[in-house]
Structure 1
Amino acid sequence: MEVSLVILVLAVVFISQSIRIVPQQSAWVVERLGKFDRNMQAGLNFLVPFVERVAYKHSLKEIPLDVPSQVCITKDNTQLQVDGILYFQVTDPMRASYGSSDYISAVTQLAQTTLRSVIGKLELDKTFEEREMINAAIVNALDEAALNWGVKVLRYEIKDLTPPKEILLAMQAQITAEREKRALIAASEGRKQEQINIATGERESSIARSEGERIAAINKAQGNAVAITEIANATADALRKVASAVNEPGGLQAVNLKVAEQYIDAFSKIAKEGNTLILPGDLSNMGSMVATAMQVIQHGKTESR
């Protein structure tokens, strides 16, 4: 009975030591008698107790690694405090176990030395502009070396670039001066454009004013010409009507009467001007003037016949 119980206990221990369940996205390295044998994949796996053992356990997930901050010297001898973050993944569990005693420390140290080397080739201003180039250069250098460690470097990102306080003050002053310069240039460009707009407006206004004056003068001249034409036509019509009326019976007497009336009217107006009464030297001139006018009309009538 006791032997059976011992055998049962040993069987339970043997089975428990033989069965291994590996989590998803994990890989376990198995050694047989101290030598690498195989990699256990996710799921149910079996071991030979006391002969095989799980030597290393690796996660196959993407791992973020914080790279400690360090001081880097730029090409123009300026100190920069730089820190970053590295993303990598174990792709070969066997090499990750035996390629390096501590692949995490190895990747971290290599990232720092590569970063110092890349920063040392750039001037201070370029380090702020070429972050993508710096990240790519570090990833390329790390990825090549990390192959022997069973690690794939996915990407590297610079978290912060911090120059000394004196450099920061100088950069701030430079930025302020540059902004003031741009403001002055913008203001001068605005004044220039304003003067151009004013000059253009005045020129267009002068052209429009002169054009308006020219059109007004043309319209006035055309109006005067039309008025003169109308007056001349009206005068000609009136003269034709007078000439026609003279040829009619009693027309000559009517003209004689009209001339006499106009003479008397004109004489009355002259006599009323001012405080002095103006009289012609010979009052008989009225009849002679009427007779002279009638002779002219009679002569014109005879010629028209």
Structure 2
Amino acid sequence: MELDIPTIIMLAIVALVIITLVKTVRIVPQRSAFIVERLGKYAKTLEAGFHILIPFIDKVSYQHTLKEEAIDVPSQACVTKDNIQVVVNGVIYLQVIDPKLASYGISDYRYAGIQLAQTTLRSVVGKIDLDKTFEERESINVQVVQALDEAAKPWGVKVMRYEIADIELPATILDALEKQMRAERERRATVAESEGERQAKINVSEGQKQETINLSEAEKLRQINEAEGKAREIEMIATATAEGIRRVAEAINLEGGKDAVNLRVAEQYVREFGKLAKENNTMILPAEFADIGGAVAAITRTLDSAKK
């Protein structure tokens, strides 16, 4: 079916109108920015919303998202300070702050960020030993972010953070680390066992010490009690003796008391000589034995003198 000339012209006009509308009307999504060039030169930045452009004169040259982007940094080999090669990969988080600089400050800020992250990571890892590589991940991340953020300012890009995803070690190093960890665990077990034995010995010695102290305290109390008992006994005997002597003295002063004393002394006198005669073959008699009354009188006079 052949089209006549008026139909062709009409279709061309419709197509031109559609193209003109497409070139004129632009809707920018939320958290996005479009860079408009007018006749090849930067004109303006379109933010989220509805916009009308001059057809065939204005052109949207760059489209940027203002959201934070997570960009994978490929694995790379890094050499530590103690000359051990490790393979490190990570993730870098970027955000476009200035769409104009992101368009004209660098051709591809994502690629540049990845390359700079790899270069900075190699430099940072090369300054620390292998052991600290695992311990200081946070420090490594901070240093990489600081270097990237400073370099990305002319690009209109903000480096939010960098995270090391994984660190791969050679098989020989992994085996050596495993042996080192096993030795460390054995050392800790030995130390813990020795500490337990030491504490047990301390506990036993403390128990023996406390037992000795308790026994000595008990012995001390026993001796004190015995001494107090003996002192009390001596005191009671002395008191009883004194009381007996006092009563004897009082009895002597009563009527007939001296006669009773004389009789008692005579009895004791005779009894003692009787014992002496039983215990010895040879008997010694005093010169005044014949006069027992005189002896008793002499003893009585002695008692009276002592009383006075």
Aligned to 2:198: 192
The alignment status of 1:91 with 2:122, answered yes or no, reads no
Letter in 2 for 1:39: T
Give the match's secondary structure for 1:122. Answer: coil
1:60 to 63, 66, 77: 66
Aligned to 2:25: 19
Q: CA RMSD in A?
A: 4.0
Question: In 2 relative to 1, CA 261–172 (structure 1 residues): closer, same or farther, beyond 3 Å?
Answer: farther
The alignment status of 1:160 with 2:166, answered yes or no, reads yes
Displacement of 1:83: 1.1
Question: In 2 relative to 1, CA 42–291 (structure 1 residues): closer, same or farther, beyond 3 Å?
Answer: farther
Q: What fraction of aligned residue pairs are identical, expressed as a percent?
A: 51
Give the match's secondary structure for 1:209. Answer: helix
Displacement of 1:59: 0.4
| Superposed CA offset, 1:155-205 (max 9, x none) | 111111121232122112112212222332333344334434444544454
Cα distance in structure 1, aligned partners of 2:90 and 2:294: 128
The alignment status of 1:177 with 2:191, answered yes or no, reads no
Aligned to 2:157: 151
Larger mean CA deviation between 159-168 and 146-155 belongs to 146-155
| Superposed CA offset, 1:266-299 (max 9, x none) | 9xxx9xxxxxxx99x9xxxxxx9x9799657644
Letter in 2 for 1:65: I
| Superposed CA offset, 1:118-177 (max 9, x none) | 223332112112222322232233223333433221211111112123212211211221
1:109 to 100, 104, 115: 115
Displacement of 1:253: 6.0
The alignment status of 1:34 with 2:34, answered yes or no, reads no
TM-score (norm 1): 0.76
Cα distance in structure 1, aligned partners of 2:180 and 2:77: 24
| Superposed CA offset, 1:70-89 (max 9, x none) | 23222333221211110011
5+ residue gaps, structure 2, are 1-6, 282-289
Letter in 1 for 2:168: T
Give the match's secondary structure for 2:235. Answer: helix
Larger mean CA deviation between 109-118 and 57-66 belongs to 109-118
Aligned to 2:286: none
Give the match's secondary structure for 2:107. Answer: coil
| Superposed CA offset, 1:38-66 (max 9, x none) | 21112222201122121221001111111
Letter in 2 for 1:241: R
Aligned to 1:273: none
Q: Is the 8 A contact 1:246 1:301 kept in 2?
A: no
Cα distance in structure 1, aligned partners of 2:11 and 2:188: 93
Q: Is the 8 A contact 2:262 2:300 kept in 1?
A: no
Give the match's secondary structure for 1:36. Answer: strand
